Structure 1
């Protein structure tokens, strides 16, 4: 059974980004700043990728879905992120990670990280986003 966890979002699902209102409006209970350690952020074609990497960090938001909206939101976010469990062609993997809250506490959350083949390509020649915060980048194209 899939655990019910908050989501850590760091790209187009963040407030002010094109997918925030499309997917999250009216479906979330809380939204707060968060930080994922042990990952680096890479620029993608209009959206970023978090890649597991010691010493790195990614900034974003922890989003807790309303209970009645959770199952549908999980399905829709998997589709948005092109994640299919066990599919080697997925762009992302949905994984459980500890995410730090603004108050210093941590919480387990779902994080979409680059799938292995995508992560290998990014590590070999991708563009790192300095400081791990996609909001600091120049304007991006919506996904």
Structure 2
């Protein structure tokens, strides 16, 4: 249930594209046993940059990022979003953020479009990545190996 300080879309699923994807280290640490559904999805309008052991999604027209749409089990959302915010070094309004958590439309093969939380690179990180970052070709973190 939404409160006046909580946007109505606050309990959205998450679009994960890096170390939170199945088979990656943070999936087991943060998501295993806490999800209702996980399904392949795509985020259009973004590209992926290689980071120090994890990727950054940067919003950019024409790009596509591969990942999963993850829906939290009932009763786990509040704790999960707090833990993911810490993992992604995101605090609302903090200029030192590595990521920003934003609501974006993603597309799944079965269900079509869905609104989801996505952690995208924060503005100060975007500038550095665009200047000297390395793109992950094809926008799929798992295929980079």
State TM-score, norm by structure 2: 0.93
Aligned residues: 138
Q: 2:38 aligns with which of 15, 19, 31?
A: 31
SS at match of 1:46: coil
TM-aligned CA deviation for residue 103 of structure 1 = 2.7
Normalising by structure 1, we get a TM-score of 0.94
After superposition, give the CA deviation of every residue in 1:67-89 in whole Å (9 maximum; x if it has no partner): 21110000000000000000000
Of 70, 77, 81, 1:70 maps to 77
- Aligned runs of 1:1-143 on 2, under 5 Å? 1-2=6-7, 3-103=10-110, 105-138=112-145
Q: How far apart, CA to CA, are the structure 2 residues paired with 1:18 and 1:43?
A: 16
Unaligned runs of 5+ in 1: 139-143
Which SS does the other structure have where 1:97 is aligned?
Answer: strand
Runs of 4+ in 1 over 3 A off after TM superposition: none
C-alpha separation in 2, matches of 1:76 and 1:23 = 8
RMSD over aligned Cα atoms: 0.8
1:48 is displaced (CA, Å) by: 0.1
Greater shift, 100-109 or 4-13, is seen at 100-109
Gaps of 5+ in 2: 1-5
